Amino acid sequence: MKKKRETPKPKKKLDAYIEGAGIVEQKNIVDTLEENYMPYAMSVIVSRALPEIDGFKPSHRKLLYTMYTMGLLKGDRTKSANIVGQTMKLNPHGDQAIYATMVRLARGNGALLHPYIDSKGNFGKAYSRDMSYAASRYTEAKLDSICTELFGDIDKDTVDFVPNYDNTLTEPVLFPVRFPSVLVNNNIGIAVSMASNICSFNLREICETTIALMRDPDHDVSATLRGPDFPGGGFIVYDEDEMQKIYKTGRGSVVVRGKYTFDKEARCIEITEIPPTATVEAIMDKVLELVKLGKINEISDIRDETDLSGLKLTLDLKKGKDPDELMRKLFRLTPLQDAFSCNFNILIAGNPRVMGVYEILNEWIAFRIECVRRMIYFELGRKKEKLHLLLGLKKILLDIDKAIKIIRETNEEAEVVPNLMIGFGIDEIQADYVAEIKLRHINREYILKRTEEIDDLKNEIADMEETLESPRKIKKYIIDELTEISEKYGQPRRTLFAEAFEDDGEETVETIPDYTVNCFLSAEGYFKRITSQSLRMSGEQKLKEGDEIIFEQELSGKTDLLFFTDKYQVYKSCVNDFADTKASLMGDYIPAKLEMEPNERIVKMMPTEDYSGHIILFFKNGKCAKVPLSSFETKTKRKKLANAYFDGSELISMYLLPEDRDFILQSAAGKVLIFNSALVLPKAARDTQGVQVMRLTKTELRSAKPFEEGMIDNAESYVTKAVPVAGTMAKLDIDQITFE
């Protein structure tokens, strides 16, 4: 049978389905911009470009939280491509944008003072414009150990969580960071009509400053926070007024200068640290441009010798040219000296605010206090729930047989909980908990063990409630956290301080001041140079806990300083290498400033202007060496001398000897002798083992000090005019002998 052909329905006009179609309206372009551009601008400002009080932008936070949920805080590294793919569940951007964010956070890139990602493979370098990072399929990564302080309390309701873009997952609004990470790592962001440029500060100094502000809101930040500390090192040309402006307003500039050394034998300058705003390629391009223009004629060749050991830019000098004069030109004309413009623009409660260091740290303290309170509330709720269940279990202890009988004689399962509630006077939650206990646990021993926790829980709950009501206790909790983090992750400063050159308009000439200053050295290796006027106006010396002053003397600015270390090395410096400081500051940390080896400790500092006199050294084996101070003088500007003294026996003490004098020695066996240093002939070799002064048998030299009249009674009985001798037993008890 033939199917009847259907008559097609007439098509309805499109205008009938679209309201207002075909109507043209005139609209003010300003209104169009407001309606379309302003929402976009606010989105960029609030949700993309500016960091928040935890120190992270949304892209950083999404990436790090994804790695945390992947178990990469303690697990092994995984391919970066895997991390990027997982992050796309939270971040709806392309994989290249996510990977670029990851590269900047990685240790291998070197852009951060304390990297958040432990990387393996080629992640490029922050100081290079052309050194590209490898593709994500070739590199591996995991979270660095410092991320423990980002996520420690995140599962305890310390921060709010929001749904991701497709409502399938949740992500934190902020991280409950346990230290002011917003100032510890640098952050740059460009929004619409505004930007943010935050420099990094030393972790130890930031923690110390935060603690001081929590104890005293009027604390002077500059007393504990010396200035920015950049990942690439270099020197800050210190300007106290500009630094105070940054601390108070969040705006200002920091002039950073590269670091260099001169190899006299090879006649080349090696640049190993550059400003954070410069790259090796930009510096080379500018130097070559200046050479072509004839503004620099001291250089015969320039090479980029950067390798796995780090950055190195080498400049070969022509014969007879002054390296220091050349470097002053380069600092003035190239990016080897550049300004870092600070703009501390941070989102606070969704609103951008430019704040100084004072205000940022106070905002972080308020944020962290709220995190700690929320964490305590969370823990308090859990403990109260547990206590509630255990109190119900305790009632069962009164008659276990009755509980079993109620359960056994109940016909329907749904009636078990109501019957237990009636039988023991407990609520539904407690009854349900009892009903779920395994049969093997329905015994007196199990229930007694569980209910023993009740008293401890009550005490913990009371302590938590007391803490919540006491701002002082919450601050004490945060201070303890900051102290622990400072000790665990703190590092010596990478960026040191230098004085500005005087510029006459054509050449930069550095003037060396020569006036008397008061110099101090502490046992921990902190050096201070303080003018007499500043010292008279100062209070007590600022020192680390447990530290003490071991050297204090007025010295000329041109005095050379020899720092002897426990690694048998001496490091040379000059009083003028240090900037004037205050007693209220910690001072320069010598191991960092002079680039000492890890764990190398200063044992003695010797000042000299003309390298006259001798150094006398006493060793545990009873030997004494006398070395002319001129043996430590060098014609070059070498800063480090190896084999500075004999390493065959432990050093007991060393002294600067302008002229011969008497010394008193004491052995561990209690014998004492007094001798004149003229009995020891000087040896030019720095590492000479010296001569035997005290004859020792089954004992060792305990101390050696300059002798003064009145130090010990009947001193003539201990004097010797020939060495070596065994010494004489002291008539007084050893602990009663007073040494200088």
Contact indicator for 434, 422 with CB cutoff of 8 Å: no
687 touches 619 (CB < 8 A) = no
Q: Is the peptide bond before 724 cis (omega within 30 degrees of 0)?
A: yes
Q: Indicate whether 8 pLDDT > 60.
A: no
| Band of residue 735 on the pLDDT scale cut at 50, 70, 90 | very low
Query: Taking residues 569-595, what's their average pLDDT?
Result: 87
What is the number of other CB atoms lying within 10 angstroms of the CB of residue 604?
Answer: 21
CA distance 704 to 719: 14
Q: Tell me if 737 sits within 8 A of 730, measured CB to CB.
A: yes
DSSP tally for the chain: helices H, then strands E:
19, 35
Q: Which part of the chain is CATH 3.90.199.10?
A: 50-177
Q: Region 452-457: what's the mean pLDDT? A: 86
- State both tokens at 660: 């011969």
Residues of the chain with CATH 1.10.268.10: 369-489
The encoded tokens of residue 161 equal 């969580």
| pLDDT tens digits for range 303-334 | 999 988 889 999 999 888 889 899 999 999 99
Location of each CATH 2.120.10.90 domain in the chain? 610-740
Decide if 724 contacts 704 (C-beta within 8 A): no
Tokens coding 78: 């995984």
Mean pLDDT of 551-562: 89
Q: Which residues are catalytic?
A: 138
Max mean pLDDT range (46-50, 475-479, 695-699) = 475-479
So what's the pLDDT on residue 507?
43
Q: CA 372 to CA 156: how far, in whole Å?
A: 10
What CATH number should be reported for the domain whose range is 610-740? 2.120.10.90
Residue 369 has pLDDT above 70, yes or no: yes
| pLDDT for res 342 | 94
Cα–Cα distance between 273 and 596 in angstroms, integer? Answer: 16
Check: CB of residue 224 under 8 Å from CB of residue 244. Answer: no
Torsion, Cα of 696, 697, 700, 705 (10° steps): -30
pLDDT at 718: 87
Which residues of the chain form CATH 3.30.1360.40? 259-335
What are the structure tokens assigned to 456, written together? 């401890």
Find the range with the poorest average confidence among 84-93, 154-163, 412-421. Answer: 412-421
Structure tokens at 42: 């606010």
Strand partners, 692: 623
Q: Is the pLDDT of residue 47 over 80?
A: no
How does residue 582 score in pLDDT terms, banded at 50, 70 and 90?
confident
Q: What is the pLDDT of residue 505?
A: 40
| pLDDT, tens only, 86-101 | 999 998 888 999 999 9
Confidence of residue 731 (pLDDT cuts 50, 70, 90): low
Partners of residue 527 on adjacent β-strands? 521, 588
Q: Which residues contact 296 (CB under 8 A, 6 or more apart)?
A: 287, 290, 326, 329, 330, 333
Query: 508 pLDDT band (50/70/90 cuts)?
Result: very low
The CATH number of the domain covering residues in 259-335 = 3.30.1360.40
Confidence category of residue 511, pLDDT binned at 50, 70, 90: very low
Tokens at 687, concatenated: 């590492």
pLDDT at 19: 64
Residue 241: what residue type? D
**Sheet of 614-619: strands edge to edge?**
651-657, 614-619, 623-628, 691-692
> In 10 A of CB 504, how many CB atoms?
8
The answer, yes or no, to whether residue 265 has pLDDT greater than 90, is: no
- Residue 634 identity: T
pLDDT of residue 510: 41
Strand 235-237 relative to strand 496-498, pairing: parallel
pLDDT at 577 over 90: no
pLDDT interval class at 294 (50, 70, 90): confident
pLDDT at residue 86, rounded to an integer = 95
Q: Is the pLDDT of residue 255 over 90?
A: yes
* CB-based burial, 201-235: b 16+ in 10 Å, e otherwise: bbbbbbbbbbbbbbeeeebebbebbbbbbbbbbbb
Specify the pLDDT at position 164.
92
Arithmetic mean of pLDDT over the chain: 87
Contact call for residues 119 and 106 (beta carbons, < 8 A): yes
Q: Are 483 and 305 in contact (CB under 8 A)?
A: no
Please compute the mean of the pLDDT values over residues 351-367 and round it to a whole number: 95
pLDDT of residue 202: 96
Cα–Cα distance for residue pair 550/197, rounded to 1 Å:
41
Q: Where are the beta strands (DSSP E) in 486-580?
A: 496-498, 502-503, 508-509, 517-522, 526-530, 549-555, 560-565, 570-574
Phi-psi region at 613: left, alpha or beta (left = phi > 0; alpha = psi -120 to 50): left
The percentage of residues in the chain with a pLDDT greater than 90, rounded to a whole number, is 53
Span 622-631, average pLDDT: 92
Q: What is the CATH number of domain 369-489?
A: 1.10.268.10
Closest by Cα among 518, 598, 612, 600 to 565:
600
Q: Are 310 and 363 in contact (CB under 8 A)?
A: no
Please determine, for residue 557, whether its predicted confidence score (pLDDT) is greater than 80: yes
Per-residue pLDDT, 358 = 95
The CA radius of gyration of the chain, in Å to the nearest whole number, is 36
* Lowest mean per-residue pLDDT among 14-18, 102-106, 564-568, 670-674: 14-18
On the question of a cis peptide bond just before residue 172, with omega within 30 degrees of 0, the verdict is no
Q: Is the pLDDT of residue 1 over 50?
A: no
- The answer to whether residue 659 scores a pLDDT higher than 50 is yes
Find the helix or strand (DSSP H, E) in which 242 lies.
helix 240-249
> What is the 3-state secondary structure of 624-669?
EEEEEHHHHCCCCCCCEECCCCCCCCCEEEEEEECCCCEEEEEECC
Q: Look at 200-209, 243-252, 622-631, 731-740 and tell me which has the smallest mean pLDDT.
A: 731-740
Positive/negative CA dihedral, 638, 642, 645, 651: positive
Specify the pLDDT at position 638. Answer: 67
pLDDT tens-digit series, residues 434-446: 888 777 777 777 7
**Cβ-based neighbour number of residue 725 at 10 Å:** 17
What is the CATH number assigned to the segment(s) 50-177?
Answer: 3.90.199.10
Query: Tokens for 626?
Result: 């006398």
